[in-house]
Structure 1
Amino acid sequence: MEADDGEESTSNATAPPPKKRKRVKRKRKNADDEEYAENKSFANKINEKFGPSKGSKQKDETPMFEVRNGKASIKNSGNHRLTVNRTLETHMNKMFQWEEEPDAIESAYICALCHENGIKRELFGPYYITNTSIKHWPTFLAKKPNVKKEAKFELWFHGACVLWAPNIHLHGSQLTNLEHQMDTFWSQNCVVCKKNGAAISVPSKKNTFVHYPCALNKGYKLNEHTLSCNS
């Protein structure tokens, strides 16, 4: 009987409840899904920026000969044409962009020729010359530095003022011959306003110069960097 009682007690013993398993697999799957979505989004952005343009039918990867009307020509791949076009676009953007010189001597935001600010007319720049090339320092633009150390000096111009100045031409985004001509202009005073920076010569009077806006206000007729009086 004792043995039977022991067997009965053993069989009727309550088993401990099973432990809940952590859903590691599900969490891992969610993490993988998020990482996949992230990578896919990044890949799409890269493809949009560097891949073939939308709607492009030129998906061929190899160059080939193409014969039309009895004439053979080389047909480049779509990627080749895309690369050439983007290279040209990059060079054009560089050509029409200016690079700011962080260590340059800061100039007042006024025209380096006519002394007027950009309220009435837009100023273009900055353009740069070296401060050591300046003998007639433009105090209306900036205080002359005490240290004779070579540095860039920034300049701003009205479009009409600088393009009417002799021996200065626009090449891409750069103005040529500024280094020499600006010092010459700053040595010349305007016959109208008496301020320096006058670039346009008056042919009827020797060593007489005028600013572009001063010439307009006086009614002078401009003709190839020189002027004459209308009266």
Structure 2
Amino acid sequence: MKDLQKLVGNLNKSGALSGFLGGVAGGGLTSLMGGKSKKSSKKAVKYGALAAVGGLAWKAYKQYSEQKAAPVQQTSSRGFDFAPATLPEQSFTDAIDDNHSDGQLLLMRAMIAAAYADGHIDETERQKIFAQVETMQLSVQEKAMLFDELRKPMQLSELVAAVPNAQMGIEVYAASASAIDLNQAISKHYLDTLANQLCIPRELVMSIHRELAEYQ
């Protein structure tokens, strides 16, 4: 698994997600990550990697939209519409706020499944996941479910079936790509299969990877 806290730190230094986290937690990522307020610091820890994933997904989608001359209809076989400039930023922030624990859960499950693409998660990776789960506004049962998944993660087909819409599909892919080691062929194959099954346009996939490469 990649170092998600490094990703968060680099995004914070760049100020790239200041507006995005404002939609999630009522304050910019820069102020939350670097501010002196204890309350702000707690929010920064709490949203952490999930904010980074959501913000990167939105930024990648925005750039993908700007590169398209016109919003051509691009609908997946599941009915998801990935057409440029049709998904609002608010839909990306909603997925990780306190009122949408199901969105937080799905992104964490996606990270766990991706981290297992090479067949195992080591103790360091496991502890990073534990730490992130503990910051989330989840019930005891939901946290227990995530910890159980560290022993038996979702199959890729199960993950795809759990994605409810296009926006969440983009965030699930971004979460998976942020947690996986792309130096391994099996990991690349996992992401290729995920993108194909979610029917995410190739140009949008490339935009997500460009954003990840810039900040990792």
**Does the alignment reach a TM-score above 0.5?**
no
* TM-score normalised by the chain length of structure 1: 0.25
* TM-score normalised by the chain length of structure 2: 0.27
Higher strand share: 1
Q: Which has the larger radius of gyration?
A: 1
Larger RCO (alpha carbons 8 Å, 6+ apart): 2
